[in-house]
Amino acid sequence: DTGVSQDPRHKITKRGQNVTFRCDPISEHNRLYWYRQTLGQGPEFLTYFQNEAQLEKSRLLSDRFSAERPKGSFSTLEIQRTEQGDSAMYLCASSVIAEQFFGPGTRLTVL
């Protein structure tokens, strides 16, 4: 499978716990994006990497959120001290130029 993959697909956690999601982009796609979709809303941009460099972070990304792309390939998104408001679908996408290819998302539920 040469598409974008995300792991896990679903995560249920208790408030206050840390969680980490992984995204494997399409091979050789240098651009990688994280978006978040909450119920009833369209997806919202969180952060963007070009190769290993994190070039933009949304104001939505509080200091509890951190993202990395250490070798310019896969990326991780970590949420520390989760809150109920973090419950959402977290989407990863990769691209070369314009068209972004999306993974299936990780659905996070914080109890």
What does the binding site for other proteins look like in residue numbers (CB under 8 A)? 3-4, 31, 33, 35, 40-45, 48, 50, 55-56, 91, 95, 97-105
Q: How far is the CB of 97 from other proteins (least distance, A)?
A: 8
Q: How far is the CB of 15 from other proteins (least distance, A)?
A: 26
Q: How far is the CB of 33 from other proteins (least distance, A)?
A: 6
How far, in Å, CA of 101 to CA of 29, rounded?
10
**Could you tell me which of 100, 107, 78 has the C-alpha nearest to residue 4?**
100
Contact 32, 94 (CB under 8 A): yes
Q: Give 54 or 80: the residue with its C-beta nearer to other proteins.
A: 54
Among all chains, which residue has been given the structure tokens 């399409």? 26
Q: Give 20 or 26: the residue with its C-beta nearer to other proteins.
A: 26
Q: How far is the CB of 18 from other proteins (least distance, A)?
A: 26
How far, in Å, CA of 47 to CA of 49, rounded?
7
Q: Give 80 or 101: the residue with its C-beta nearer to other proteins.
A: 101
